[in-house]
Structure 1
Amino acid sequence: MRTEFPQLAVATITLDGVTPTADVSATAAPFLERASVRLAERPESEFPEIAAWRRAFSQMGLKPTQYRCASEALLRRFKKDGELPSIHPLVDLCNAVSVAYAIPIAVFDLDQVTGNLLVTHAAGTETYLSFGGTTETPEPGEVIFRDDAGNAHARRWTNRQSALSAIRPNTRRVLIVSEALHDTAAADVDALRIELTEALGQHW
């Protein structure tokens, strides 16, 4: 993907020993407050982080107001509801950091990933498990997260994660991936990685 999007900045974190019982509310609160302050200043569509992903989706032939990157979808929900739904402490913390930075963060259960995980164009033979329980086949050329078994762990790059590797109460090993495309993406993704690593260390 770097050939098509040379400005892409990526940070990854691996974490072992995850548990579902941590209380992350106090750790997440400052990140949510930062998101609130930004949203009070201007709409999320005008954030440089979101605008860059919208341009990328257009470049991939997707309508950016129909298919939104994960951080934009979270920001829209947070603005509407004033809070984010609680899913799992790890996911809740990552979502809070995601809205603070307006940068998509994906969290994968590594025990559900076969071999390597690669961001690439789909061949059209991969399988994707939706949260509704249906199996989909990504279109040829669609940008996906694909493992060595041909499982698509995310569709349309940062748009929609698969239920196959979603975090569950019994999840123990995870891979966290954050990606950005805006002008200061490299510095911002690095700052996100540092802050998120510190926050994770308070609980796991």
Structure 2
Amino acid sequence: MLDLSISYQLKDAVTDFKVGAIYYQSIVIGDLPPLIGDRLPLFYENIQLSLQAHPISEIDGVKEWRNTFKKVGTDPSRYRPSQEALLRKIKKDGAPHYVHSAVDLINFFSVQHGIPMGIYDTAHLNVPIQITIGTDKDSYEGLNGRTMHMSGKIISVDSMGAFGSPIVDSRRSCVTEQTTDALQIIYLRPSMDSEEAKLMISKIAEMFTQVHGGNHEWKLIQ
């Protein structure tokens, strides 16, 4: 399931584009353990307080991803990177929506590192997977309940079509409590050093499997 590549079209638009890919097997999704779940509200409360003094648009990861969106033809004020949307939700409400352990942990990682992330049920995907720039033919039903038209936006596609994006992911590929195998895509900051990126990916993979059991394999794709 790590048969994943970046299209030449996307690399031409963003020459230093890179992602981390983690494949999880035999995981068990449910509630976060208290050691993590009980601490998240305080973590988000501190984030909310910090956002009163520092505009979201000035956070390094947000600023860089807004510029990345512009390079591929996406208006970041109309279609925000998902970590920016999370931060805006936290600033307004004090926390993101809690779903289940997998999504809650991915949201935590995304806020912590200031970058978009997605997690997908591999039972509903077909390899190979490519990250590219969408065309007029690319659309899907988003987790936000809207039909997402993905022309001029960064997307992940398999043989059945587009299923993910650093904006919002599709219902087709969403992870549920019945998911046992999953693919996580980490949309790294293009400017991030490769060794720093590898360290981040490995730590995220290790923490995720500590919570969910199972095993993982990962790689940096650039």
**Fold conserved (TM > 0.5)?**
yes
- Verify: 1:115 aligned to 2:123, yes or no: no
- Verify: 1:39 aligned to 2:46, yes or no: no
Relative distance call for 1:31 and 1:86 in structure 2 (3 A) is: closer
Q: Distance in 2 between matches of 1:182 and 1:121?
A: 16
Structure number with greater CO (CA < 8 Å, separation at least 6) is 2
Q: Distance in 2 between matches of 1:103 and 1:172?
A: 25
Corresponding residue number in structure 1 for 2:174: 166
Q: Distance in 1 between matches of 2:22 and 2:202?
A: 10
Q: Which runs of 5+ in 1 are unaligned?
A: none
Corresponding residue number in structure 2 for 1:184: 192
Q: Distance in 2 between matches of 1:78 and 1:166?
A: 22
The correspondence of residues 81-92 of structure 1 with structure 2, limited to 5 A, is: 81-92=93-104
**Is the Cα contact below 8 Å between 1:24 and 1:92 reproduced in 2?**
no
**Is the Cα contact below 8 Å between 2:118 and 2:186 reproduced in 1?**
yes
2:25 equivalent among 13, 16, 27: 16
- Verify: 1:100 aligned to 2:112, yes or no: yes
**Which AA in structure 2 matches 1:121?**
I
Q: Distance in 2 between matches of 1:80 and 1:137?
A: 27
Aligned residues: 200
Comparing 52-61 with 33-42, greater Cα deviation is found at 33-42
Q: Distance in 2 between matches of 1:69 and 1:24?
A: 28
- Verify: 1:143 aligned to 2:154, yes or no: yes
Compute the TM-score of the two structures, normalised by the length of structure 1.
Answer: 0.84
> SS of the counterpart of 1:161?
coil
Cα drift, residue 85 of structure 1: 1.3
> SS of the counterpart of 1:198?
helix
CA RMSD of aligned residues (A): 2.7
Corresponding residue number in structure 2 for 1:153: 163
Cα drift, residue 40 of structure 1: 5.5
Q: Distance in 2 between matches of 1:195 and 1:38?
A: 25
Cα drift, residue 117 of structure 1: 1.5
Cα drift, residue 143 of structure 1: 3.0
**Is the Cα contact below 8 Å between 1:107 and 1:177 reproduced in 2?**
yes
Comparing 114-123 with 94-103, greater Cα deviation is found at 114-123
Corresponding residue number in structure 2 for 1:6: 15
Q: Distance in 2 between matches of 1:136 and 1:44?
A: 24
Corresponding residue number in structure 2 for 1:124: 136
Relative distance call for 1:202 and 1:30 in structure 2 (3 A) is: same
Relative distance call for 1:64 and 1:76 in structure 2 (3 A) is: same
Corresponding residue number in structure 2 for 1:69: 81
Q: Which runs of 5+ in 2 are unaligned?
A: 1-9, 214-222
**Is the Cα contact below 8 Å between 2:131 and 2:155 reproduced in 1?**
yes
Instruction: Give deviations 1:49-73, integer Å, cap 9, x for gaps.
Output: 1111111222222221111111111
**Which AA in structure 2 matches 1:5?**
V
Q: Distance in 1 between matches of 2:34 and 2:53?
A: 24
Instruction: Give deviations 1:118-154, integer Å, cap 9, x for gaps.
Output: 1113343345123366765543x543211012x2112
